[in-house]
Structure 1
Amino acid sequence: MTDEKKPSGPDLTKGVALTDFRDGKLVGHVGDDDVLLLQTGPDVVAIDAYCSHYHGPLAEGLVVGDTVRCPWHHACFSLRTGEALGPPALSALSAWKVERESDKIVVRAKREAPAQAAPHLTAPTPDRFVIVGGGAAGFAAADMLRREKFAGAITMISSDGAMPVDRPNLSKDYLAGNAPEDWLPLRPEAYYQDFGIDLRLDTSVAAIDPRERSVTLGNGDRLPFDRLLLATGAEPVKLQIAGADQPHVHTLRSVADSRAIIAAAANAKRALVIGASFIGLEVAASLRARKIEVHVVAPEERPMEKILGREMGDFVRALHQENGVNFHLKDTVEKLDGRRAQLKSGGVIEADLVVVGIGVKPRLSLAEQAGLAIDRGVSVDATLETSVSGIFAAGDIARWPDPHSGANIRVEHWVVAERQGQTAARNMLGRGERYDAVPFFWSQHYDVPINYVGHAESWDDIQIDGSIPGKDCLLKYLKGGRVLAVASIYRDLENLRAELAMERSRA
């Protein structure tokens, strides 16, 4: 997601010396393609220099064994094949042929990419897999099933009217007007046809029958399944006050929601954001990018304190204030009378656009109806299988045993959902793979990215290295002397190292 630029570094077709490498890395080009050379032991490997997700510079990432991790959003790639091994990247990079000529390392051509055709086209099986949900977890599962050469039928049921999209963009670049809509789909429409994924949009599921192994759709049709993945996600918490049902009051979850806010913003002069959540403040930043006056009302003393702590909360508030956002904290909206928002404090805010961001709740009704074990989410084991054999759950609804924190946790983040979808897919194929990835999320506020690894619902100490106001810091959240989570601003490599350390400290 960057502007066109000239190729980087030396021309690799003319060769480079190992002495030209820095820390075992060198970025050069072959024609117009940027290529990253990496020295791994006696070998030198070459892959595309930028992440296939948001174009993060892999030369600034972390090499772990035969893989490299993107510094921006922690995608992981094979250095040998370029395969995308870990979300949020879903597309492989090109791997390049490395030649030795005298004392020079030369790169001229790409390695032959693996065949992209889906195996089911030539080797169908009677197995029938159903995925309920068209979000991050559901798509990642369907995609992984085909990558793992599953040749049976895949039916993916989504209540949304849009194909699976890059949801984080809905509150960030797309909403801000910095990304076109054609960047949103995770895959084009032809992908589902080519790979034999029966994607059913605008389709509801009325019930699941675990005994009969079938799904009943809203129109009464029944779909049999051999394996089922529940990935129903979460829905925005609705504002329960007078006037909340007016047409200028919006929530943000889907493409349709984001489009509606963009349409309303075209003629809006003042916007009210109710809630200082990540979504709420990303919406505030995006609306400020559209030159709209923005007011944020929230009951807490400082935004994001519960997740990031006092110091980071103060920084986030100051950052938004510097960019023109008006905060009304320790306050709530009691009613919306037309365009007038009446605050509990007695104040009134006139706004022609209102966006409600007061949290989300997992969609559990289908799981409850099916008799699955529920514990503030759908209870799953280490393989993401529910209490009913053959039925798996992933994403926002899943509560799983986290080996790092030692607790059963549920996390509402994009990368977690994608990683769980992939693991669930492999386990639907009988792999018995434990889901043990360290949770990760990122949030973007103007030009400031906040990266967070781990999971800390509470802590007794925060260790701060660097300067939070200076936008150069790493925070460790500890309980009983143990690091549960790490947040950072522009300390990408350290954040990756913290993730790796958590992985290696798993029980």
Structure 2
Amino acid sequence: MATYVIVGAGLAGAKAAQTLRERGFDGELVLIGAENERPYERPPLSKEFLQGRSEREKIFVHTPEWYAENGVDLRTGLPVTRIELGNHVVRLGDGSRRPYDKLLIATGATPRRLPGAGRYLRTVEDSEALKERFAAGGSVLVVGASWIGLETAAAARTAGCEVTVVEPEPTALNRALGHELGDLFAGLHQRKGVNLRFGTTAAEITATGVRLSSGERLTADLVVVGIGAVPEIELARDAGLDVGQGILTDAALRTSHPDVFAAGDVAESFHPLYGRHLRVEHWANALHGGPAAARSMLGQDVVHDPVPYFYTDQYELGMEFSGDIEGYDEVVYRGDPESLEFIAYWLREGRVIAGMNVNTWDVVDDIQELIRSGVIVDQKELSTG
């Protein structure tokens, strides 16, 4: 009887396990996670759960009983320390070893760190601790005007805290959206009373706040760092798998070893739509990548090529984003951005490469179809519908 092992008990790993069982795999199935919690979804940690609008139980992928009922050997609080490709074995933190026939690596990513004792938001324990601190009030300094940084700032401000955001780029989300749409998010936070400090870098977190690269010191009761994440590729790299920004895979999520696959934040997969390898950290990639990897492990034909998708909720703004803005040369709007109810399209050489719908719903499929089509669009028609 074959044994499949999944390293990483997050959303991608849990959905892979579910798909393996649904697709008829009846061998031994082991799901190993370093965290003590059973698999859960991370987006609520910086959104509704952080703001106290969602109960803890709602973040989990499956009920506690699901794993035993489906023959999934879930092992939590147990890191994998080494992968031995030649022996088809993973070694665990308790000294034990687990042979496998096929292996899926879904180890995710870890927050990028700064010197000093700042707080980070990655786990459910992080979110619970921050929610408690925000409820107590005081001043919060957020390092990084990233998605997670701005969502954290919104949660803190909604809870009544004084909030400052420090960001080296000239505006919010500059790399993710470009300056025009980045300014829109910056303006939203400014109207809510957030103090935004652009063009400055946090060099060190101190006992009383942050020391900036200029030497200036900003004080705060709490410092939260949101400056991106680093994929956990060490196991794969040390085992001898090909890695780049993540674990390199083909479009079927196969790594450089025929019996090893990768999915989720840690995978840098070849994307046929873009003709290059992409590493996508967003929730949808884990949600769909885990099942795609499972089907690939079963020998089924798989081409994992979803249009990258992300969503956010900040104050009264709800947004869905599709695509990749790299190389864009123009932005076209349908509706008025100042109204916070519009669609933005990023174009490159007349073709839509990304779209963002703000407080406008049920249009994601149309936007993604437009991105996939690669057709040169009529900008007047695009802006008026």
The TM-score with structure 2 as length reference comes to 0.93
Question: RMSD across aligned C-alpha pairs, in angstroms?
Answer: 1.6
Q: Are 1:441 and 2:316 matched, yes or no?
A: no
C-alpha contact 1:308 1:487 (8 A) present in aligned 2: no
After superposition, residues 292-371 of structure 1 pair within 5 angstroms as 292-345=161-214, 347-371=216-240
Deviation of 1:350 (Å): 2.1
C-alpha contact 1:404 1:502 (8 A) present in aligned 2: no
Hey, what's the Cα distance between the residues in 1 that align with 2:101 and 2:168? 47
C-alpha contact 1:449 1:489 (8 A) present in aligned 2: yes
Aligned to 2:294: 425
Q: Are 1:147 and 2:16 matched, yes or no?
A: no
After superposition, residues 73-472 of structure 1 pair within 5 angstroms as 126-240=1-115, 244-245=116-117, 249-345=118-214, 347-472=216-341
What stretches of structure 1 of length at least 5 have no aligned partner?
Answer: 1-125
Deviation of 1:273 (Å): 0.5
Deviation of 1:170 (Å): 0.2
Q: Which moved more, 1:297-306 or 1:325-334?
A: 325-334
Hey, what's the Cα distance between the residues in 1 that align with 2:224 and 2:35? 20
- Structure 2 letter corresponding to 1:280: G
C-alpha contact 1:372 1:388 (8 A) present in aligned 2: yes
Aligned to 1:493: 362
Deviation of 1:149 (Å): 2.2
- Structure 1 letter corresponding to 2:100: F
Hey, what's the Cα distance between the residues in 1 that align with 2:276 and 2:351? 14
Hey, what's the Cα distance between the residues in 1 that align with 2:85 and 2:31? 18
Q: Which moved more, 1:384-393 or 1:287-296?
A: 287-296
Query: Which of structures 1 and 2 has the larger relative contact order (alpha carbons within 8 angstroms, sep 6+)?
Result: 2
Hey, what's the Cα distance between the residues in 2 that align with 1:184 and 1:364? 25
C-alpha contact 1:265 1:353 (8 A) present in aligned 2: no
Q: Residue 224 of structure 2 aligns to a residue in which SS?
A: strand
Hey, what's the Cα distance between the residues in 1 that align with 2:205 and 2:367? 45
Deviation of 1:197 (Å): 1.0
Q: Residue 145 of structure 2 aligns to a residue in which SS?
A: coil
Deviation of 1:490 (Å): 2.4
Hey, what's the Cα distance between the residues in 2 that align with 1:392 and 1:251? 29
The structure that is helix-richer by fraction is 2
Deviation of 1:429 (Å): 0.8
Hey, what's the Cα distance between the residues in 1 that align with 2:36 and 2:193? 35
Hey, what's the Cα distance between the residues in 2 that align with 1:394 and 1:497? 26
Q: Residue 405 of structure 1 aligns to a residue in which SS?
A: coil
C-alpha contact 2:35 2:78 (8 A) present in aligned 1: yes
Hey, what's the Cα distance between the residues in 1 that align with 2:296 and 2:205? 48
Indicate the percent of aligned positions where both proteins have the same amino acid: 37
Hey, what's the Cα distance between the residues in 1 that align with 2:206 and 2:99? 49
Q: Residue 175 of structure 1 aligns to a residue in which SS?
A: coil
Deviation of 1:345 (Å): 4.4
**How many pairs are equivalent?**
375
- Structure 1 letter corresponding to 2:203: E
Deviation of 1:289 (Å): 1.8
Deviation of 1:504 (Å): 5.2
Deviation of 1:347 (Å): 4.2
Q: Which moved more, 1:366-375 or 1:178-187?
A: 178-187
Structure showing greater radius of gyration is 1
Hey, what's the Cα distance between the residues in 2 that align with 1:406 and 1:491? 30
Aligned to 1:40: none
- Structure 2 letter corresponding to 1:444: D
- Structure 1 letter corresponding to 2:81: A
- Structure 1 letter corresponding to 2:364: N
C-alpha contact 1:305 1:313 (8 A) present in aligned 2: yes
Hey, what's the Cα distance between the residues in 1 that align with 2:141 and 2:50? 15
Q: 1:282 to 1:142 in 2, by over 3 A?
A: same
What stretches of structure 2 of length at least 5 have no aligned partner?
Answer: 376-385
C-alpha contact 1:437 1:503 (8 A) present in aligned 2: no
Aligned to 2:380: none
Hey, what's the Cα distance between the residues in 1 that align with 2:373 and 2:24? 30
C-alpha contact 1:231 1:396 (8 A) present in aligned 2: yes
Hey, what's the Cα distance between the residues in 2 that align with 1:351 and 1:276? 17
Q: Residue 354 of structure 2 aligns to a residue in which SS?
A: strand
C-alpha contact 2:202 2:213 (8 A) present in aligned 1: yes
